[in-house]
A and B are shown apart, each in its own frame.
Chain A
Amino acid sequence: MGGKLFFWLVICFPSSIALLATTFYQVLILSDLEADYINPFDAASRINYFILPEYIGQGALCVLCLFTGHWFMFLLSLPVTCYHIMRYVKREHLIDVTEVFRGLNAERKFRLAKLVMYLILLIVVIFWILAAGSSIFYHNSKFEELDIRLNTLGY
């Protein structure tokens, strides 16, 4: 049980918060760019700085979920991972300063969609944390092996 809590609280929770934050930051920069509060050079370099870490982090989380057998989490993050892989393979993952305005709207929409995905992920993670925590503190150990759905029903 402790391992579960560790997994959710120490690995998934911070990473999904981080993903959410970077994406939010990118959306913010893109909005600033459109409103002309920032020049395209700075905007591109700031956004590009975060892109690879984000891709790696997201990919790692996805793989971790797969190997630890958290199927639901894995399936939830799979679309985003696929999207990232596709962008990376096409070499379109970085913002292109010279054409940034041409794809501005599309870029922002994709990021907003990602933001929503990450938000869902975070909510799910928080739920698991609560579930895992509650199973430790409020329930007897005999419930431990039960399926999580039982736990939730217990609430």
Chain B
Amino acid sequence: MGTENPGRPGFPARPASLPFAAAPQTATPFSSTGPVAGSEPPSFRPTAMPPPPQASSLFSSSGPPVRPGVPGFRPAPPGTFNDPSVPPPQPPSANAPPAAGTFLRFPPPPFSSSGQVPPQQRAPFVGPPPIQQSGSQPPSFPSPPQPQTPFVQMGSPPQSISPAPMGSNVPPPTPTHQPPFPGYARMQQPPPAHSSFPPSQGNYGPPPPPVSSPFLPQPGGYAPSPAVAAPLGMQPPGSGPPIGGIQGLAEDFNSLTVQTRPGTMDPLFDSSELPRPLDGDVEPKNLDAMYPMNCHPRYLRLTTSAVPSSQSLASRWHLPLGAVVCPLAEPPEGEELSVVSFAPASVVRCRRCRTYVNPYMTFTEAGRKFRCNVCTLLNDVPSEYYAQLDATGKRVDLDQRPELTKGTVEFVAPAEYMVRPPMPPVYFFLIDVSISAVRSGMIQIVAETIKSCLDELPGFPRTQIGFATFDSTIHFYNMKSSLTQPQMLVVSDLDDVFVPLPDDLLVNLSESRSVVETFLDSLPSMFQDNANVESAFGPALKAVFMVMSQLGGKLLIFQNTLPSLGVGRLKLRGDDSRVYGTDKEHVLRLPEDPFYKQMAAEFSKFQISTNVYAFSDKYTDIASLGTLAKYTAGQVYYYPAFQSAIHGEKLRHELRRDLTRETAWEAVMRIRCAKGVRFTTYHGNFMLRSTDLLALPAVDCDKAFAMQLSLEETLLTTQTMYFQVALLYTASCGERRIRVHTMAVPVVTDLGEMYRLADTGAIVSLFSRLAIEKTLSQKLEDARTAVQLKIVKALKEYRNLYAVQHRLANRMIYPESLKFLMLYGLALCRSMALRGGFGDAPLDERCAAGHTMMVLPIKRLLKLLYPSLIRLDEYLLKVDLKSIERRLALTMENLDSRGLYIYDDGFRFILWFGKGVSPEIARNLLGADFAAELSKATLSEHDNEMSRGLMRVLEKFRNADRAYYQLCYLVRQGEQPREGFLLLTNLVEDQMGGNNGYSDWMLQISRQVQQ
């Protein structure tokens, strides 16, 4: 490893993190004092540590320094040196049980700060001033030597020795204390600690400071830890005073105190103290310093960035253990992915486990071999890929090899990755032209939008396009380039569907451009007077399948009428409220006719991806239609009661986005990880092609997939676990590519550490997918209970970690990293897909919401679950220009009747006009009819500054996320029932009907946790 990316921050980081590994480095800096160090090695260890972290970071680039120090210090050196990523695992065993756990925990960054902090505290404790300096200064100053020297001298006396023992001693206490400590670091209980510890200080004091960062966990308890915590940003906001007592332990968890309602005995939480995710989704940054070459969290997020080392530990983690992958997430403007071509050689991969070359692979034997980071097999470097190693052991061409420095790269796949020539982008449109479709104006908008997107369809000039329409018959259009007018071919035999013209139904867009345009121009008028009410959707689907099966591609279905003819005909269901709450309830959410599943499987097999646009104002059985999208990596768009005047803009934007976004064709995705861990279940829209291969006929940046992993071996012996997501696809340009995301995470032995590195976003994403899947086989109620139960179990386990040392009565504790989990859990239970029962959400909307939530990337899902509520009037009146950036908690109490608020869940805006909102605002924004009922009013720009200001704000919000178009709904306070179903049910913190409010929910959870 060292060879490979010595320079990389990652490298240094690793070693540093280990308590011991670090030591060597310190040593190096002191090289001048060298002799001393050498002689003292054993006792030294601990002491050495202090400086290490920093030293490491400072020298990060310098591979060599490490070496010298190492020998003196520990057995580990060789290991470390070669392989930064996996460094010291083995060696530590002897000395430091702690090491393993420890090193994982603390990324280098902490050090710098930590180093500094500790010193001060330390000072008081440690009798001998010199020591402190050594400990404290190294960190702050680049030049470790100075501190060191004094230190060394000190070393000889008892103190120096003490550290050593410490190392060994520490472990014992660790087990019990561990949990508390890690977190505590920040705690700075300095004062108490000192006093309480005086006696022991002699031993502990000196060594800890330096060590602390690496060790936190174990020794932690004492003084050292303090520094670290702070950097990690774990600060417990709400944490009460440390209850630890003698030890003066600080808390590393958050807590809420249960109060008693005045006058009664009812306990309650102070609702203003409850945590709320008002900043939206925060991507985890914990590992950035430790593994800087990891891919960005927008591509891959783990529910906890710490893999448990044993099955027993994993079983105590009651939250889902898994990952959420968004392989094609859009990088921010200006950031380009590096595309790597190995031609003429093939892609460099590990021979045994097939892992793609990545930054964590180490090159050895003068660059002729590389060691796979996942399975540790030593592979030969292909001659075309050979490069010498420089003195530090890294490849000389490292800076020209993005695949060795970046967590995310794209490889150009050679011919052996193709089963057929790369397909061109294919778009096929299947449009319902029955009377309700005509009346809603959907056809008009679809035709216009497609026409306007023709220039932007990806893959010019290879793009192919085709159209079919259906009512009680199926109409195909011959769009051969030699024709001037499209030719309509009608198939009316629904029992034995055939394709009238095998070629020419799917044509090359650039060749037939004029015919296609003519067709789109005439399409709306063609069916203007159609009075057909039937829908032969099933047969049409079969016919289209015949047309598309040659190439595959993307099928967009515009569906307005419940399928009523031929195969796949569906009947009205779901209007029977008695079914809810019985064992038959879930059947409503399953496809009614196996035809849809079969078709979906066929589509997937032939690389066809299906997007369903449904528009009906009546029941259209999204549960059945959505199945088509579910297994073909598609998406469901549902516009209930579509009217082109109202919803047209939304359809236009979303269809446009669908047609023009970057799309990966005929893709398969696999996620690999090291031995001992296996991905077992997958959740999202795709079909499994084999046990771990996701077939994605077409996939784009708006789709995320979740998976859960399980431990296969009882004990993991490695220190680091690697995950690699590989998406093999055909780019729109016709090139076959492999997009690879690599991530390294530590393996930990401590449950507290898993909690510390937990990622609420990923957990909520997996939760919601599991819950939605559960609604397909069980009652809604059961799915909601399951969510709550899992949260309770997790918190209970967490509480058990701390209950021993702390008096926790009447307090609810939870990890800082999961402080929003409870609220998101509540929001999930109250989301459209899971809420209430029969009357709370129309069946179609519920199913559509479920389908949507199954594909949403984390960020968007969190926004949907906990939307932003922002006060606008102050901004519009220029009273307070900052107010627009302030998100409010979702509760009625925050709605001032003199205000104007916007509620934005990423899918729609709701503008709420308070009763007392100034008439000036209403008039300016709504025009003359501002007093009229708002359900009819639409928002349009008026000729005044305030209206323009509002439009700018809306535009700004829309630009923040372009995947969906947010239509603006207006509602006035007290306007029932509109206000109720648009806004009030969505204020998740309020109690509503049978639903819990936030503080009740917390109370419920805390009660169950304490049972």
What residues make up the interface of A, taking CB atoms closer than 8 Å to B? Answer: 33-34, 36, 39-41, 91, 96-98, 100-102, 104
Contact = CB atoms under 8 A, between A and B. Distances in A.
Nearest to B627: A98
Given A41-B601, A100-B688, 12 more contacts: A36-B691, A39-B690, A40-B687, A96-B597, A97-B598, A97-B601, A97-B687, A98-B600, A98-B601, A98-B631, A101-B690, A104-B691
Contacts of A104: 691
A102 B597 contact: no
Contacts of A102: 681
Interface string B673-695: 00000000100000111110100
B146 to A, nearest CB: 61
B653 to A, nearest CB: 31
Contacts of B681: 102
Contacts of B631: 98
Nearest to B600: A98
Nearest to A33: B690
A39 B689 contact: yes
A36 to B, nearest CB: 4
Interface of B: 594, 597-598, 600-601, 604-605, 631, 681, 687-691, 693
The 10 closest A-B pairs by CB, nearest first: A36-B690, A97-B601, A101-B688, A98-B631, A98-B601, A41-B605, A98-B597, A101-B691, A98-B687, A34-B691
Contacts of B597: 96-98
B119 to A, nearest CB: 56
A98 B594 CA distance: 11
A25 to B, nearest CB: 20
Contacts of A96: 597
A100 B605 CA distance: 14
Contacts of B601: 41, 97-98
Given A98-B631, A102-B681, A40 B690 contact: yes
A20 to B, nearest CB: 27
A34 B689 CA distance: 10
Contacts of B688: 40, 100-101
Contacts of B604: 98
B11 to A, nearest CB: 37
9 contacts: A34-B691, A40-B688, A40-B690, A96-B597, A97-B601, A97-B687, A98-B600, A98-B687, A102-B681
A139 B687 CA distance: 63
- Highest count of chain A CB atoms <10 Å: which of B605, B681, B690: B690
Contacts of A34: 691
A91 B594 CA distance: 10
B377 to A, nearest CB: 21
B742 to A, nearest CB: 23
Nearest to B631: A98
A48 to B, nearest CB: 11
Given A98-B631, A102-B681, A40 B600 contact: no
Nearest to A39: B689
A82 to B, nearest CB: 20
A98 B694 CA distance: 11
Contacts of A98: 597, 600-601, 604, 631, 687
Nearest to B630: A98
Contacts of B600: 98
B964 to A, nearest CB: 27
B574 to A, nearest CB: 19
A15 B901 CA distance: 74
Nearest to B601: A97
A36 B601 CA distance: 18
A91 B631 CA distance: 20
Contacts of B594: 91
Contacts of A91: 594
A133 to B, nearest CB: 47
A59 B631 CA distance: 35
A96 B585 CA distance: 21
A33 B604 CA distance: 17
A145 B330 CA distance: 84
Nearest to A96: B597
Contacts of A40: 687-690
A40 B693 CA distance: 11
B772 to A, nearest CB: 15
Contacts of B605: 41
Nearest to A37: B690
A102 B688 CA distance: 9
B838 to A, nearest CB: 24
Nearest to B596: A98
A143 B557 CA distance: 76
A100 B682 CA distance: 13
Contacts of B598: 97
Contacts of A36: 690-691, 693
Nearest to B632: A98
Contacts of B693: 36
A127 to B, nearest CB: 41
Nearest to B682: A101
A40 B605 CA distance: 10
Contacts of A39: 689-690
Nearest to A100: B688
Contacts of A100: 688
A41 B173 CA distance: 57
A45 to B, nearest CB: 10
A97 B690 CA distance: 11
B508 to A, nearest CB: 30
A102 B777 CA distance: 13
A51 to B, nearest CB: 14
Nearest to A38: B690
A101 B689 CA distance: 9
B601 to A, nearest CB: 4
B270 to A, nearest CB: 45
A54 B690 CA distance: 26
B627 to A, nearest CB: 8
A56 B441 CA distance: 53
Nearest to A36: B690
Contacts of A41: 601, 605
A37 to B, nearest CB: 9
Nearest to B688: A101
A41 to B, nearest CB: 5
Contacts of B689: 39-40
Contacts of A101: 688, 690-691
A39 B602 CA distance: 13
A33 B689 CA distance: 10
A89 B601 CA distance: 23
A96 B691 CA distance: 15
B650 to A, nearest CB: 30
B1007 to A, nearest CB: 35
A118 B744 CA distance: 50
B240 to A, nearest CB: 46
Contacts of B691: 34, 36, 101, 104
A94 B597 CA distance: 13
A97 B695 CA distance: 13
Contacts of A33: 690
Nearest to A91: B594
Contacts of A97: 597-598, 601, 687
Nearest to A44: B601
- Among B594, B600, B604, B687, the most chain A Cβ lie within 10 Å of the Cβ of B687
B594 to A, nearest CB: 8
A102 to B, nearest CB: 7
B769 to A, nearest CB: 13
B970 to A, nearest CB: 42
A18 B594 CA distance: 29
